[in-house]
A and B are shown apart, each in its own frame.
Chain A
Amino acid sequence: MLIFLLRRLLQACVVMTVISIISFVIQDSLGDPVRQMVGQSVSPAEIEQIRQEQGFNDTKFEQYTRYAKNVLQGDFGTSYFYKEPALDVILKKLPATFELAFSAIIIIIMVSIPCGIFAAIRPKNILARFLMFSSTIGLSVPIFIVGIFLLYTFSIELQWTPSFGRGDTVLVFGIWETGFLTLDGLSHLILPSFSLAIALLPMFVRLIRSEMLEVLHSEYVKYAWAKGLSPARIYFVHAFKNTMLPIITIGGIQVGTLVAYTILTETIFQWPGMGSLFLDAVNRVDSPLISAYLIVVGAIFVISNTLVDLIYGYINPTVKLASHGL
């Protein structure tokens, strides 16, 4: 287990190094940030002066050493737009994205497990068929169409939910801005988290259903029936427990998709999180922010995947770690 962990760490380092090299290339070669920051009547000479001050005229090598040294100290440079250390800016927006993703995950768990199990144990039931058909439709409707549709229906026509932003937030532990603790914050969460959840729900319902079907056909479930165990016990304890493994694995991988989809959701609902921050940074050619985002998101992916692997190893100790491709 220790070797496994060490190897995982080594791999994580390799991945992070690759990401940081990409980040430098971006930092180094992204458009000219100076021109768009100045107003309409600034002369070329003055622009050149700003370039000089900002160090854009140094050689590539100088810029590179500077960057590498700073990143090692956790300094990604100062965001041109926010005028604050890029890492701080990103970490400040992290709670918003995290809470959005977290709520979506909760919704996915609450909905997909009962639906998936039901569709598996009563495959012929009309409701189950309806569930499966709507999951196919759900798979076919792009998330941004869902988002706009929800926004239009519930916010504008029915006026049940707020249409943008996070609403009131409370500062907890001195660093974390949470929207979970205010009614206003929660109501702002509804639409974005539902559209994010809807994007991934169909996949999980289908996954749980098919895993469940497979397990239900396995020998030991047949044996459990023969033993005369109660259906509830068979379904929820024996069968479902055994579907957890692949679901956790895939769930871990879907964190990446989830983060990608937060970019879309945040754009639609003007959610002040990391995703919309990234797109803004790209539009403003705010290169310190872009590279910091890449490194932070890269770290999130690497950590979440390593965690999933560890959980997997914990739940299923029989797994041969060597065959993980290590």
Chain B
Amino acid sequence: MKVVARFITLLSLLICSASYAATLHMATDADPSSLDPHEQLSQGTLQLSHLAFDPLLRWRQDHTFEPRLATSWKSIDKLTTRFELRREVYFHSGNEFDADDVIYTVKRLKSSVEFRALFDNIKHIEKRNSHSIDIITHKQTPLLLNLMAYLFPMDKDFYQGRDDIVKFGNSFASRNLSGTGPFIITSREPGTRIEFVRNANYWDTKSKGNVDRIEFSTIKSDATRLAALLSGDVDFIFPISPLDMPRVKRSRNIQLVTLPSTRILFLQLNQNRREELKNTKVRQAINLAINQEIIVDKILKGFGTAAAQLSADDFLGHLDSLTPRFELDKARQLMREAGYEEGFKISMMAPNNRYIHDEKIAQAITAMLAKIKIRVDLKTLPKAQYFQEFDKRSADIMMLGWQSDTLDSNNIFEFIIACPDAKTGYGVYNANGYCNPNLDNRIKSANRELNPEKRIRLLQQIESTIAQDAVIVPIAWEHLAWGAKQNVNIKDVINSQDWPYLGDLVID
């Protein structure tokens, strides 16, 4: 009898482990440049963080918050928020997770060149007990929870003493990692591939995820990456070029999932460089001459949303009344009124490997502006060189894409629209030369406003002023696209921030 019982247990174990053993081969266009989660604030780093670490909380697909290492939180006073931390969570090294790790991580974040700006507002953290903390901010902020989605507690005992954040250097943290996340790195060949195995002691036992190994490859060329999926060498790829989507849709055993992202692509019209661009009518004419719908339709193949403002659909500042307008006659008339009927020559720069089809979009814009006799001298550069030129504001028109780190309109306004101010960091990416003190005040007050309704009104006012003054030319929000074999249920784990939660991925 005992033998039979044992046999059954063994059998059931076998069956269980059989259903719990799936290897995911995936390919993306870039891998994280370092294992140090604080070295570079990039998509690659955040994607890795969601595999090997856990945030205090994270966004669900509907942009609400899901508790992760924090189980609950509540506001104590204007500046203090209390977080209860999850118990019985262990790092890959075996150390137990507690409040000290969070305090340690925030301290490290505040010393990171790239993350410092995000975490500037946190004054200090009060440890109440081993699994409860109070976070105290300098100024009151409506965005503290958004920030906590970027806080991935690191293993204090593991890193301490050898935790220098060395940019591009050979630091301990850039090669070693100990987080609480669902996957443990077993081998890594930078620029080529990383291998993960599932963390056997992962705290989230409710997760249905059944991937026990991930083979993460980097394939830069869109065509080769898609070829790898079509030929069955990998199960899951992203991104997918809009051009290739018809081919993906044709394959019966491949699924294509797209989501609108919140990254806005736009043009900055530099008023400091060109007298003509100081004229609001000229800027409006440029806005009217550019046909966002057709760019989305023909170049992005419909995998984008034509934009007439900076705030994406679910951002607080979004105004439904602002829709893309394409009126060539009106544009010509405005040019006439401004005294530039015969047009003028202008320089433009755009990256050619940063945003989806950036170069093609820039070329199309050249052709569109030719219709109102603005002759554009276009230069497209690889991103490494482009951003140097961007810093120098080398051209009259410059293309930029902006993803709001906090999923909030004001982040865009602060960096792009506010008057440049080196001290506060406001307007660091303002390449349009527009400076409106009125607007600046509103941006600042939106940063403190806690009343949601008032805040929405503030942000929407800012958005409509920008549109009225035609400060920039919004083009489109790109859509994100993932492709996978039919048996890989990626739909449930992807999100518009482009951080797939692979710990919860189920492969049938």
Contacts and interface: CB of A to CB of B under 8 A. Distances in A.
- Touch test A–B (CB under 8 Å): yes
Interface of A: 31-33, 35-46, 50, 53-54, 78, 80-84, 148, 151-152, 155-156, 159, 161-165, 267-270, 272, 277, 280, 283-285
Given A41-B428, A82-B191, A280-B191, A155 B227 contact: yes
Nearest to A96: B192
Nearest to B226: A156
A50 B191 CA distance: 23
Contacts of A53: 167
Contact of A37 (B167, B385, B415, B429): B167
Interface in B7-58: 27, 33-34, 40-42
Interface residues on B, range: 35 or more
A185 to B, nearest CB: 14
B256 to A, nearest CB: 16
Interface stretch (B214-222, B315-323, B470-478): B214-222
Interface stretch (B228-236, B305-313, B499-507): B228-236
Contact of A31 (B171, B191, B224, B388): B388
Interface string B431-467: 0000000000000000000000000000000000000
Contacts of A165: 192-193, 217, 219, 233
B41 A163 contact: no
B230 A39 contact: no
A46 B223 CA distance: 38
A41 B425 contact: yes
Contacts of A161: 231
Contact of B221 (A43, A45, A78, A267): A267
B114 A42 contact: yes
A151 B415 CA distance: 44
Instruction: Report whether over half of chain B's contact residues are helix, strand or loop; otherwise say mixed.
Output: loop
A35 B422 contact: no
Contacts of A269: 224
A137 to B, nearest CB: 24
A83 B114 contact: no
B114 A38 contact: yes
B425 A43 contact: yes
A164 B34 contact: no
A84 B175 CA distance: 10
A83 B34 contact: yes
28 contacts: A31-B384, A36-B384, A37-B40, A37-B167, A38-B114, A38-B167, A39-B40, A40-B41, A41-B405, A46-B113, A50-B113, A78-B168, A80-B168, A81-B190, A82-B191, A83-B175, A84-B170, A156-B227, A156-B230, A161-B231, A163-B224, A164-B224, A165-B217, A268-B221, A272-B191, A277-B191, A283-B384, A285-B384
Tell me which of B171, B190, B192, B385 has the highest count of chain A C-beta atoms within 10 A of its own C-beta: B192
Nearest to B33: A81
